[in-house]
Amino acid sequence: MPRAADSDRRRTNASVVLRSVLEHGPVARSTVSRLTGLSPASVTDYCARFTELGLIREAATPRRSNGVGRPHVPVDLDASRFVVGGVHVAVPYTTVALLDLRGRVVTERRLGHDSTNPALVLARAAEGLEALLAEAAGATPLGVGVAAGGWVDRDSGSIVDHPLLGWRDVPVRELLGDRTGLPVHVDGHARALVNGERLFGQSARGSRSVLHLFVGNVVDAAFATNDEVHHGPRSQAGAIAHLPLRGGTEPCDCGRVGCLQVELSERTLCRRAREAGIVDGVNPTHVVTAAERGNPIAVRLLTQRARMVGRAAGLLLDILNPETVVVTELGVIRREDCLRALREEVGDARASAVVPTSFPDSVLAVAGGSVMLDVLFRDPLSLSPGRI
């Protein structure tokens, strides 16, 4: 077998073994062998290597099969030793966080943008991560994942174009890597969240094809089949900002009316809420708060927006026909009436395929961290104790 093919096979086998421990742990090695189709000897070898790297450990209590015979010592992911940094760059603020190896947010912090200068934003993100690591004494960082909207090129580690921030060709990997001294991986936030769902979520577990629709100030999408997220040349896949949305009324900078992003943007939601006298700022959570307090105009604005999100989801369902559509949108996350409105717009036949994100309380932190965790779980043997 060619050396490259042999290396790819080892990488794939290592990934499926560690994923099996992630999903089923504490789990006996014999069960991992059965689940993965790999030989018991291969599973034992991979688990020994993962133990050496500090990724897994033996569980405290051995398990007996039917109460007789030699006890099976289960293995489980060791989520106590390592963390990854997560950075999500949004329009008004950056979220920095630390996540454990199960994708759970250990701590996070939101940093408002005093300036959108990319060097300053990323320098402040590095300082924020340093402060979080100082608080998490004893945790070893493996690297940093960065997620953002706009056109993000995973291979070069750069944000090619983010019109709302005014960023073009920003070498995020280089800038943040120099600041932190850690490996840095960069991807679009919709693709990052597909990987988060694939690894740690419940919304799309078992689906062979998943579409993620992200609706914030930036509106974009990501599509995955058979555990692989589609990136396209220079990672341009998922750019849906200028898809026409039926019933849209908002003028877009491109010269058309009703483009998906300008219609669904949180900026548009907040502007409409200000015009209605509901809020006086640009924070969309204040619209949700007003709805929770019974303001009927706020309720209407949120449910109308959810219906338009449903139209967007229906359009993408028609084009891509995924088994599951995961939606990250504030109203759908926080309010049952918004989720109902979205599903009604999609239609009864496909409503059950549309689900909210698995990470309602920490979606931006998970997006950033999932970029790095996806790299780890795809190639766990690339982790070397000499690099930690």
Once rounded to an integer, what is the mean pLDDT over residues 348-362?
A: 95
Within 10 Å of residue 61's Cβ, how many Cβ atoms? 9
Q: What six digits make up the tokens of 241?
A: 């900002």
pLDDT of 3 > 80? The answer is: no
pLDDT, residue 135, reads: 92
pLDDT, tens digit, for every residue of 227-252?
A: 899 999 989 899 999 999 999 999 99
Would you state the torsion angle of the CA atoms of residues 153, 150, 193, 305, taken in this order, to the nearest 10 degrees?
-160
Half-sphere exposure of 144 (CA within 13 A, CB side): 29
Report residue 63's pLDDT band, with 50, 70 and 90 as the boundaries: low
Report the SS3 class of residue 329.
Answer: strand
Q: What six digits make up the tokens of 89?
A: 């760059």
Residues paired with residue 170 on neighbouring β-strands, in sequence order: 159
pLDDT of 64 > 70? The answer is: no
pLDDT, tens digit, for every residue of 130-182?
A: 999 999 988 899 999 999 999 999 999 999 999 999 999 999 999 999 999 99
pLDDT of 203 > 90? The answer is: no
pLDDT of 62 > 90? The answer is: no
Give the integer Cα–Cα distance in Å for 191 and 214. Answer: 10
Report residue 1's pLDDT band, with 50, 70 and 90 as the boundaries: very low
The residue with greater pLDDT, 71 or 199, is: 199
pLDDT of 386 > 60? The answer is: no
Q: What six digits make up the tokens of 312?
A: 């967007």
pLDDT, residue 12, reads: 94
Q: In this structure, are residues 152 and 171 in contact, taking their beta carbons and an 8 Å threshold?
A: no
State the pTM of this model.
Answer: 0.93
Peptide bond into 26 cis (omega under 30): yes
Mean pLDDT of the chain: 93
Least confident of 68-72, 154-158, 293-297, 303-307: 68-72
pLDDT of 65 > 80? The answer is: no
pLDDT, residue 387, reads: 35
Q: Which of these, 122, 104, 126, lies nearest to 113 by C-alpha position? A: 122
pLDDT of 70 > 60? The answer is: no
- 10 Å CB burial of residue 284 (0-12, 13-18, 19+) is buried
CA angle 381, 386, 388 (to 5 degrees): 85
Q: In this structure, are residues 385 and 355 in contact, taking their beta carbons and an 8 Å threshold?
A: no
